[in-house]
Structure formats: structure tokens, C-alpha cells
Amino acid sequence: MYAFEIERPSTLAEAVSALSAEGAQALGGGQTLIPTLKQRLAAPEVLVSLSGISEMKGVCPDDDGRLCIGGATTHAAVARDAAAAYPALAALASHIGDPAVRNRGTIGGSLANNDPAACYPAAALASNATIVTQNRAIDADDYFQGLFTTALEEGEIITEVKFAIPEAANYQKFLQPASRFALVGVFVAKYADGVRVAVTGASEDGVFRWSEAEAALSSDFSAGALDGLSVPAEGMIGDLHGTPEYRAHLVKVMTKRAVAAAG
Amino acid sequence: MAKVSMTVNGAAASGEVEGRTLLVEFLRGPLGLTGTHVGCDTSQCGACVVHVNGEAVKACTMFAAEADGAEVRTIEGMANADGSLGVIQQAFQDHHGLQCGFCTPGMVMSAAALLKDNPKPTEAEVRKYLEGNICRCTGYHNIVKAIMAASGQDVSAIAAE
């Protein structure tokens, strides 16, 4: 790693101020950023750790019935504390990485990084979650903008993520066993006004909505409703773990499994 | 350089660290606690697992500065007060839960974290929980058996060593 300073603010205001410095970067749980620093793929001058900011941690419902999760909340805490209100989201969190990784990695860090194979982007997009920063609230539909690219601006911190709770939901992840990321992951969420289907791990553009499946499932919420659909291989990731055709095939398989499991 | 202070295995510990100093480097270097191992240094293998404020973390993927003020427990803190092996350590010895022993500190710390939350895990739960701890000797079978035994469960039905 190149040398840098670490700051550990205890309030959001202090963190925002520290991040306005030249060369400053936010540090969530570090489970992606620290390996990246070790490879010298990033060279911040100052890391601003968000792990000591208690106002950015925790899971609670708001007055509109949404589940609000602080940006610095760990995957382990989401798995535990969201289980009653949003079991599909808690189940997703409980399968990220491994137990020690889940004790450090955070929802805000995952969404800010927007790895094309991360799990949380699928949940956020399928739930049309609201990504809240110190400056504004961003709909998930506007937030994800491609590989490792989001609507976040320089110095902007995810303080909170708000999820509308669906009538039924499920996440199915086809595990890439070495990395424990998703080879393909599909989050299906059924709301009163329609079904949303978000796919991670598959596309070269990162997480995306499978709109044909959403239309089919909105009129008939059953795995059979997807029988006539297929996903084009064009634009899918091809690597040593799977071809674009394989990933395209998996998208449909995992969507059907998610619908069947959601009931 | 910045000063960090923490409690390690019940005793106060402090030192000067760089921003980039990893928790595992602080433990193994200035504190001389070399029981915590660095296997992969990429947060895959789990040889560096320690407890920070009671939670298992990979000490190669956390900065020492982030542990300022924390309660840290390492493998050196797992023995009984009289120096004899703790329950999990003794079970690893009794059931031959190690071959070369390199992964063992992380295995024991992960096992302790599991048993704190789930005192009587099933064999499947133990195997699932250890997904972030890799044994290059592939000695998983006896590791799982040792953890089951440490939880006070009968392991006589688990196949021979």
C-alpha cells in the first residue's frame, strides 16, 4: 500500500468536512477497498473511516413503512436486524462473503462501490430503494450507472438506504465459490403496483432490470410465466467462470427459482 | 504516524502506527503476538481471524487505527487463566483438528465466534460458518469434529479420524 493518513470522525458532519480535503476518500468496512489498496490500484492521501459514526448505523422502520438502514450498517447487522421486516433482504445480507467479512463490510460501501457482481445492488434496484446522501435522495433507478459507476459525486456519502417492503420477495445467487460473489444473482420483488426483477453478476454494465420478466410476472406471478422468455447473451460477462451464453441462461433459471421461492 | 490504544486479551496495549498499518501487523509486530497468522493477505483464508469488540474479523483487512479503543482478542487470549488449553483448543488437540497448524489460530477464533452465537451448531452449520477459513492441508473433517466436540455434543457418530 502507498502511505496515507486515516481519520476517524464520530459524526457525519465531521466526515463530510474531512472528505472535502484534496485526495480524501471514504472508507466503509474496507472489505473491498483494503484489498484494492494492497494492489496499489488506489492511492488516496487521506482515508476517512465511516465505521465510528453511530448516527449512520442501524435498521429501523420509518413512518411510511419503509425499512431504513444506515449506510455504515454491517452485513451481519442487516442479516440480524432486518430479518423480521424484510426477510429476503436479510437473507441476501447473510450470504455475502463469509462471517468475518460480514462483520466489517457495509451496505453503504457495497452500494457506493457498485461491483458488477455484488449482491446489494440487486436488492436496491429490485426494491427501487432510495439512496440517501448528506445532500439528497436518489432513486435506485437513477443511482446505478454502470460498472463501478453511480450517481454519487465526489465527497458524497451514503448515509441511509430506504427500502419499500414488498408483498413477496426472494434473492437467488448462483455462487462463484472462490470469490463468493454472484456469478449471477437475481432479486425478485412483488409490489402492489407490479413486480421488479434486478440482475447482478451477469451484465458488463452492472446491475440491470429484466423488464420483460417484470411485465410477465406482473400479470402472472409464477415461474411458468417466464417460460417463453429468454435473455440475449450480448453484453453479458464472459470470463473463465462462464460464457455470456451461460450467464444469460442462468438469469432465467435464477429468476424462476426466485419467483418459486418467493411464493 | 498516529497513536492507537486498545485492549488486547484483557491488557492495555498502545503504539504508534501509520495509516496503512494493518491490525494484524500491529498485533504481530509491536505487540509480538505472532499467534495470529497471515496466510493469503487478501481476506480469503481466515488465518488472521481475531475478535474485535466480540466479533470475528479478518485482521489483514482492517487497519490498526480502526481498532483504536476496541477490545481485541487473539489466539493468545484463548487459553485458560492457568495457561492450560481452552475448551476449543483442547478439542482441536483431542480430535486432531490440525495437521500443519497454520490455519488453526483462525479456525479456533472463528469457532469461538460461532459457539458464542450458536452454542449447539449442527455439523452443516459448522461447515457453513467456516466458509471463510481455509485449511490448505484440507483437514476440515477433524476441525468440524473438534468444534462439535467443543460444543459438548457427541461426536462418536462422526466418521473416524
Q: What pLDDT was estimated at residue B144? A: 96
The DSSP line for A182-196 is: EEEEEEEEEETTEEE
- The length of chain A in residues reads 263
Do B30 and B93 belong to one domain? no
Number of Cβ within a 10 Å radius of residue A61: 13
Of the candidates B20, B43, B129, which has its C-beta nearest A35's C-beta?
B43
Backbone angles phi, psi at A92, to 5 degrees: -60, -50
| Model ipTM value | 0.95
Do B33 and B14 belong to one domain? yes
Do B60 and B33 belong to one domain? yes
Number of structural domains in chain A: 2
Q: What pLDDT was estimated at residue B79? A: 96
Determine contact, residues B49/B109, Cβ cutoff 8 Å. yes
A104 vs B58: CB contact, 8 Å cut-off? Answer: yes
B41 vs A38: CB contact, 8 Å cut-off? Answer: yes
Residues 3-22, chain A: which have Cβ within 8 Å of B?
3-6, 8
Q: What pLDDT was estimated at residue B72? A: 98
Q: Is residue B161 part of a domain?
A: no
pLDDT tens digits, chain A, 263 residues: what are they? Answer: 999 999 999 999 999 999 999 999 999 999 999 999 999 999 999 999 999 999 999 999 999 999 999 999 999 999 999 999 999 999 999 999 999 999 999 999 999 999 999 999 999 999 999 999 999 999 999 999 999 999 999 999 999 999 999 999 999 999 988 888 999 999 999 999 999 999 999 999 999 999 999 999 999 999 999 999 999 999 999 999 999 999 999 999 999 999 999 97
Q: What pLDDT was estimated at residue A263? A: 79
Backbone angles phi, psi at A256, to 5 degrees: -60, -40
Q: Is residue A178 part of a domain?
A: yes
Q: What pLDDT was estimated at residue B158? A: 80
User: Starting at the edge strand that comes first in sequence, how are the strands of the sheet with B11-17 ordered?
Assistant: B11-17, B2-8, B71-73, B49-52, B55-58
CATH number of residue B48's parent domain: 3.10.20.30
Q: What pLDDT was estimated at residue B159? A: 67
Q: Is residue B156 part of a domain?
A: no
Of the candidates A5, A97, A99, which has its C-beta nearest B19's C-beta?
A5
B18 vs A3: CB contact, 8 Å cut-off? Answer: yes
Residues 163-182, chain A: which have Cβ within 8 Å of B?
180
Cα–Cα distance, A167 to A158 (Å, whole number):
26
Q: What pLDDT was estimated at residue A58? A: 97
The DSSP H or E segment spanning B150 is helix B140-150
Q: Is residue B118 part of a domain?
A: yes
Q: Is residue A172 part of a domain?
A: yes
**Parallel, antiparallel or unpaired: strands A158-163 and A130-133:** antiparallel
Do B71 and B18 belong to one domain? yes
Do B14 and B60 belong to one domain? yes
**Cell numbers describing residue B108:** 479456533
Above 60 in pLDDT, residue B53? yes
Above 80 in pLDDT, residue B161? no
Do B19 and B37 belong to one domain? yes
Mean of all residue pLDDT scores within chain B: 95
At A138-186, the pLDDT tens digits run: 999 999 999 999 999 999 999 999 999 999 999 999 998 888 899 999 9
Residue A41 touches partner B, C-beta closer than 8 Å = no
- With CA atoms as reference, the chain A residue closest to B109 would be A100
Report the gap between the CA of A39 and the closest CA in chain B (Å).
10
Q: Is residue A204 part of a domain?
A: yes
Nearest to residue B4, comparing CAs of B16, B12, B21?
B16
B57 vs A104: CB contact, 8 Å cut-off? Answer: yes
Q: Is residue A55 part of a domain?
A: no
Query: Which range of residues forms the domain containing residue A192?
Result: 168-262
Above 70 in pLDDT, residue B160? no
CATH number of residue A226's parent domain: 3.30.390.50
Do B99 and B42 belong to one domain? no
Rounded to 10 deg, the angle between the B87-94 and B140-150 helix axes is 130
Do B11 and B64 belong to one domain? yes
Determine contact, residues A46/A54, Cβ cutoff 8 Å. no
Do B14 and B65 belong to one domain? yes
Nearest to residue A106, comparing CAs of A68, A77, A140, A141?
A77
Which chain B residues touch A31 with a CB distance below 8 Å? 43, 61
Query: How remote is the C-alpha of B92 from its chain's centroid?
Result: 13
CATH number of residue B138's parent domain: 1.10.150.120
Q: Is residue B155 part of a domain?
A: no
Interface test with A, best of B6, B51, B131, B134 (most A CBs within 10 A): B131
Q: List the end-to-end C-alpha distance of chain A, in Å, as a whole number.
A: 48
Q: Is residue B30 part of a domain?
A: yes
Cα–Cα distance, A222 to B49 (Å, whole number):
43
Number of structural domains in chain B: 2
Cα–Cα distance, B46 to A183 (Å, whole number):
22
Residue A37 touches partner B, C-beta closer than 8 Å = yes
pLDDT band at B117 (very low <50, low <70, confident <90, very high): very high
Rounded to 10 deg, the angle between the B140-150 and B104-117 helix axes is 40
Cα–Cα distance, A117 to A24 (Å, whole number):
26
Nearest to residue B159, comparing CAs of B141, B133, B139, B134?
B141
B57 vs A103: CB contact, 8 Å cut-off? Answer: yes
Q: What angle do CA A231, A232, A234 make, to 5 degrees?
A: 140
Q: Is residue B63 part of a domain?
A: yes
Report the gap between the CA of B4 and the closest CA in chain A (Å).
12
Which of B30, B58, B77 terminates a domain? The answer is B77
Cα–Cα distance, A218 to A191 (Å, whole number):
9
**Cell numbers describing residue B143:** 476441525
Do B48 and B112 belong to one domain? no
Do B10 and B67 belong to one domain? yes
Do B73 and B6 belong to one domain? yes
Query: Which range of residues forms the domain containing residue B63?
Result: 2-77
Which chain A residues touch B57 with a CB distance below 8 Å? 100, 103-104
Q: Is residue B82 part of a domain?
A: no
